[in-house]
Amino acid sequence: MTQAPVRRRSGRRQHDREIVALAVPAFGALVAEPLFLLADTAIVGHLGTAQLAGLGVASALLMTAVSVFVFLAYATTAAVARRVGAGDPPAAIRQGMDGIWLALLLGAAVVAAALPTAPHLVALFGASDAAAPYATTYLRISVLGIPAMLVVLAATGVLRGLQDTKTPLYVAVAGFVANGALNAGLVYGADLGIAGSAWGTVIAQCGMAGVYLVVVLRGARKHGASLRPDAAGIRASAQAGVPLLVRTLSLRAILMIATAVAARLGDADIAAHQIILSLWSLLAFALDAIAIAGQAIIGRYLGAGDAQGARDVCRRMVEWGIAVGVVLGVLVVVARPAFLPLFTSDPAVKDVALPALIIVALSQPISGIVFVLDGVLMGAGDGPYLAWAMLITLAVFTPAALLVPVLGGGLTALWATMTLMMTVRMLTLWLRSRSGRWIVTGATR
pLDDT tens by residue, 82-117 = 999 999 999 999 999 999 999 999 999 999 999 999
The whole-number pLDDT of residue 1 equals: 46
Widest Cα–Cα separation across the chain: 76
pLDDT tens by residue, 65-76 = 778 899 999 999
Per-position DSSP letters for 31-63, written without gaps between them: HHHHHHHHHHHHHHTTT-HHHHHHHHHHHHHHH
Res. 329: pLDDT tops 90: yes
Res. 242: pLDDT tops 90: yes
* 304 close to 25: Cβ distance less than 8 angstroms: no
Q: What percent of the chain has pLDDT over 70?
A: 96
- What is the average pLDDT value for the chain, to the nearest integer? 90
Res. 170: pLDDT tops 90: yes
Res. 64: pLDDT tops 90: no
| Cα separation values, 52 from 58, 84, 273, 395, Å | 10, 45, 21, 36
* 414 close to 265: Cβ distance less than 8 angstroms: yes
Tell which residue, 171, 166, 158, 160, has the closest CA to residue 205: 171
Q: Report the range of poorest mean pLDDT among 4-13, 79-88, 91-100, 183-192.
A: 4-13
The whole-number pLDDT of residue 8 equals: 62
Q: How confident is the model at residue 7 (pLDDT cuts 50, 70, 90)?
A: low
Contacts of 410 (CB under 8 A, 6+ apart): 265, 269, 352, 404
Tell which residue, 444, 441, 165, has the closest CA to residue 309: 441
Answer yes or no: pTM beyond 0.85. yes
The whole-number pLDDT of residue 435 equals: 95
Q: Is 407 exposed, middle or buried (0-12, 13-18, 19+ CB in 10 A)?
A: exposed
Contacts of 442 (CB under 8 A, 6+ apart): 82, 86, 302, 303, 305
